[in-house]
C-alpha cells in the first residue's frame, strides 16, 4: 500500500468522525430551532388571535347589555363597533394561519355566522320590547357557544404545543448520547490512526534517517546502502537513495581524478595570463602613442578648418563687395543711359526751338512790312490832311499818331528780332554742348560696361574661390570628424585595454583563488571513502 493511501485512510476515518459529529449537531440544532420557532411563532400568534377574539366577543356582550338597558347609548354603539371589528380581524387571522383542522374551522365558522346573524337581528329589533328580549336571550346563548368553541381551540392549541415540546428532552438526551458516542469513536479512530501512521510511516522514516545520518560524518562511506523493508514510498525512497549514493560515488571518484588535471591546467593558464598581461601593457603603450599622434593630427586639421573658415569668410566679404559694386555699376549705367536719353530729348527740343525762332523771324518780317506800309499810309494821310487845311487838322493828328505807332512797332520788331537772334545763337550753343555731353555719356556708358564686365569676372572668380573654400571646409570637417572618431575609437580601445588588464589581473587572482579552492575541495573529496 502506498504511503499516501495509508495517511489518507487515517484522515478519512477522522473526517468521517468529524462529519458524523457535525451532522448530529446540525440535526439537534435544527430540531431545537424548529421547536423554538413553532412555540414563539405560529403557535403564539394563533393563541394570541384566539384570546383577542374571545375578548372582543366579551366586549361585544357588554356593549349589547348596555344597549339592552339604553338602546340609544352612543358610547355603547361605538364600543360594539370597535369590538366587532377587532373580533373580525382576530378570527380572520385564526382561519388564515392554518392551525385549525377542517372540521373545527367549519364548526367555528358556523357558530360565528349564527352569532353574527343573532346580533344583527337583535340590533335591528332592540326597540320592540318582548321580541327584543327573546332575541337577546338567543344572542347570549350564541355568544356563550362561540366563547366555548374559542376556549376549546385555545386548549387544543396548548395541547399541541405541550405535545410538541414534550419531544425536546428526548431529542436532547439522544443528541447527547450520540455526541458522547461520536467523541469516544473519534478518540478511538485518532488513536488507531496514530498507531497505524506510526507503525507504517514514522518508524520506517526514523530507520531511514538513522542510515542517512551515517553519511553526515567526517569519514563518509559512499559504499553503504539502505535495505528497503516495504514497497511503499519509503521503500522506493531507500532504492532511489541507493542509486543516488552510487551516482555520488561515481561522481566523487571522477571529480577526484579531474581535480588533479584541473589544478595542473589552471597553473598553465596562470602562466599564460601573466604573458598576456605583459603583451597588454605593450599594446596599451602603443595605443597611447597612436592616440597622441591622432590628437595632434586632429588639432592640425582643426587649425586648417579654422583658417579655411576665415578664408571663406573673407571670400564672402569680397563676393558681397563685388556684388555691391556690380549693382552700383548697373545703376550707373542705367542712370547714364537715362541721361543720354534726356540729352537727346533736350537736343531735339533745341532744334525745335530753333525752327520756331525761324518762324518767329518770318512773322517779324511780316510785321515790319506792315509797319512800313502803315508809316507810308500815315504819311499819305498827313499829306492829305495838310491839303484839306483846317478841316483835316484832326485827321492829321491821327495820322501823326499812327505814324508814331508804326515807327514804334518797327523799333519793337527790331528789338524782338535781336532777342530772337541771341536766343537762337544760345540754342545753337546749347545743342552743341548737348551733343558733346551725349558723346561723353556714351563713352562713359561704354567704360562702365567694360568695368561691369571686369566686376563680373571678379565676382565669378570670387564665387569659384568661395566654392573651393566650401569644399575645402567640408573636406576638412569630414577629416576632423574622422580624426575625432579615430581618436574616440582609440580612446575606447585604450579603455578596453585598461579594462582587459584589470580583468586579466582579476582573472589571475581568481585563478589563484580557484586553485586554492580546488585544492581545498580535493582535500574534502578525499574524505569520502570510495
Length of the chain: 530
pLDDT at 491: 75
In a domain, 205, yes or no: no
Same domain flag for 264 and 176: no
CATH number at residue 277: 1.10.287.950
Q: Which residues of the chain have pLDDT under 50?
A: none
In a domain, 206, yes or no: no
- Distance of alpha carbon 458 from alpha carbon 456, whole angstroms: 5
- For the four alpha carbons of 241, 242, 247 and 252, in that order, the dihedral sign comes to positive
CB neighbour list of residue 431: distance below 8 Å, 6 or more residues apart: 347, 350, 351, 354
In a domain, 268, yes or no: yes
- Distance of alpha carbon 360 from alpha carbon 372, whole angstroms: 18
Same domain flag for 161 and 286: no
pLDDT at 280: 62
Mark which of 145, 165, 192 sits at the end of a domain.
Answer: 192
Q: Which helix (H) or strand (E) holds 163?
A: helix 130-166
Q: What angle do CA 92, 94, 95 make, to 5 degrees?
A: 65
Same domain flag for 267 and 177: no
Mark which of 162, 192, 222 sits at the end of a domain.
Answer: 192
| C-alpha cell of residue 527 | 574524505
In a domain, 170, yes or no: yes
Grid-cell match 553519511, residue found: 215
State phi, psi for 27 to the nearest 5 degrees: -65, -45
Q: Where are the alpha helices (DSSP H) in 70-101?
A: 74-96
Same domain flag for 161 and 265: no
The total number of structural domains that make up the chain: 2
Long-range contacts of 137-144 (CB under 8 A, 24+ apart): 139/64, 139/115, 140/61, 142/111, 142/114, 142/115, 142/118, 143/57, 143/60, 143/61, 143/115
Residues 126-158, buried b or exposed e (16+ Cβ, 10 A)? beeeeebeebbeebbebbeebbebbeebbebbe
**Domain extent at residue 424:** 248-525
Q: Which helix (H) or strand (E) holds 493?
A: helix 393-525
- Distance of alpha carbon 225 from alpha carbon 241, whole angstroms: 8
Same domain flag for 185 and 256: no
Same domain flag for 256 and 171: no
In a domain, 283, yes or no: yes
> Burial level of 173, CB count in 10 A (0-12/13-18/19+)?
exposed
Mark which of 177, 192, 207 sits at the end of a domain.
Answer: 192
Same domain flag for 95 and 180: yes
Same domain flag for 166 and 265: no
Rg over alpha carbons for the chain, rounded to the nearest Å, is: 76
Same domain flag for 270 and 178: no
In a domain, 224, yes or no: no
CB 52 within 8 A of CB 92: no
Same domain flag for 186 and 295: no
In a domain, 201, yes or no: no
Same domain flag for 262 and 144: no
- Distance of alpha carbon 419 from alpha carbon 472, whole angstroms: 76
pLDDT at 473: 67
- For the four alpha carbons of 471, 473, 474 and 475, in that order, the dihedral sign comes to positive
CATH number at residue 17: 1.20.120.1730
- Distance of alpha carbon 88 from alpha carbon 53, whole angstroms: 8
Same domain flag for 146 and 289: no
Amino acid at each position: 500500500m502506498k504511503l499516501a493511501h495509508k495517511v489518507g485512510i487515517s484522515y478519512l476515518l477522522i473526517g468521517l468522525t468529524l462529519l458524523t459529529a457535525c451532522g448530529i449537531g446540525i440535526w439537534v440544532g435544527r430540531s431545537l430551532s424548529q421547536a423554538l420557532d413553532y412555540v414563539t411563532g405560529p403557535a403564539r400568534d394563533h393563541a394570541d388571535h384566539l384570546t383577542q377574539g374571545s375578548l372582543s366577543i366579551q366586549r361585544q356582550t357588554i356593549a349589547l347589555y348596555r344597549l339592552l338597558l339604553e338602546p340609544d347609548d352612543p358610547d355603547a354603539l361605538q364600543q360594539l363597533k370597535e369590538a366587532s371589528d377587532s373580533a373580525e380581524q382576530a378570527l380572520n387571522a385564526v382561519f388564515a394561519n392554518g392551525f385549525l383542522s377542517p372540521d373545527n374551522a367549519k364548526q367555528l365558522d358556523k357558530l360565528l355566522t349564527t352569532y353574527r346573524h343573532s346580533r344583527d337581528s337583535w340590533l335591528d329589533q332592540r326597540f320592540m320590547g318582548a321580541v327584543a328580549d327573546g332575541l337577546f336571550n338567543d344572542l347570549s346563548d350564541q355568544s356563550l357557544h362561540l366563547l366555548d368553541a374559542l376556549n376549546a381551540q385555545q386548549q387544543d392549541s396548548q395541547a399541541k404545543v405541550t405535545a410538541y415540546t414534550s419531544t425536546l428532552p428526548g431529542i436532547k438526551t439522544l443528541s447527547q448520547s450520540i455526541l458522547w458516542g461520536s467523541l469516544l469513536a473519534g478518540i478511538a479512530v485518532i488513536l488507531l490512526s496514530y498507531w497505524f501512521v506510526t507503525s507504517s510511516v514514522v518508524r520506517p522514516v526514523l530507520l531511514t534517517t538513522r542510515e542517512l545520518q551515517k553519511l553526515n560524518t567526517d569519514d563518509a562511506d559512499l559504499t553503504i546502502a539502505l535495505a528497503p523493508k516495504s514497497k511503499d514510498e519509503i521503500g522506493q525512497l531507500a532504492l532511489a537513495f541507493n542509486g543516488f549514493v552510487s551516482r555520488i560515488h561515481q561522481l566523487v571518484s571522477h571529480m577526484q581524478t579531474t581535480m588533479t588535471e584541473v589544478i595542473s591546467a589552471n597553473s598553465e593558464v596562470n602562466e599564460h595570463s601573466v604573458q598576456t598581461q605583459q603583451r597588454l601593457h605593450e599594446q596599451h603603450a602603443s595605443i597611447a602613442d597612436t592616440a597622441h599622434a591622432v590628437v595632434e593630427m586632429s588639432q592640425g586639421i582643426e587649425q586648417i578648418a579654422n583658417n579655411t573658415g576665415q578664408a571663406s569668410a573673407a571670400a564672402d566679404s569680397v563676393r558681397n563687395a563685388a556684388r555691391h559694386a556690380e549693382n552700383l555699376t548697373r545703376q550707373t549705367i542705367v542712370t547714364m543711359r537715362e541721361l543720354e536719353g534726356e540729352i537727346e530729348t533736350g537736343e531735339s527740343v533745341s532744334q525745335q526751338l530753333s525752327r520756331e525762332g525761324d518762324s518767329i523771324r518770318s512773322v517779324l518780317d511780316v510785321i515790319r512790312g506792315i509797319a512800313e506800309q502803315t508809316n507810308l499810309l500815315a504819311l499819305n494821310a498827313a499829306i492829305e490832311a495838310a491839303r484839306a487845311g483846317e478841316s483835316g487838322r484832326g485827321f492829321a493828328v491821327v495820322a501823326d499818331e499812327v505814324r508814331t505807332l508804326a515807327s514804334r512797332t518797327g523799333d519793337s520788331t527790331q528789338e524782338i528780332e535781336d532777342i530772337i537772334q541771341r536766343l537762337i545763337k544760345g540754342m545753337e550753343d546749347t545743342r552743341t554742348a548737348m551733343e558733346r555731353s551725349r558723346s561723353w555719356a556714351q563713352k562713359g556708358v561704354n567704360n562702365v560696361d567694360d568695368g561691369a564686365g571686369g566686376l563680373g569676372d571678379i565676382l565669378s572668380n570670387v564665387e569659384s574661390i568661395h566654392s573651393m573654400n566650401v569644399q575645402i571646409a567640408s573636406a576638412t570637417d569630414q577629416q576632423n570628424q574622422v580624426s575625432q572618431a579615430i581618436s574616440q575609437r582609440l580612446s575606447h580601445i585604450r579603455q578596453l585595454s585598461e579594462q582587459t588588464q584589470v580583468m586579466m589581473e582579476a582573472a589571475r587572482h581568481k585563478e589563484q583563488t580557484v586553485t586554492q579552492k580546488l585544492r581545498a575541495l580535493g582535500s574534502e573529496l578525499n574524505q569520502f571513502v570510495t
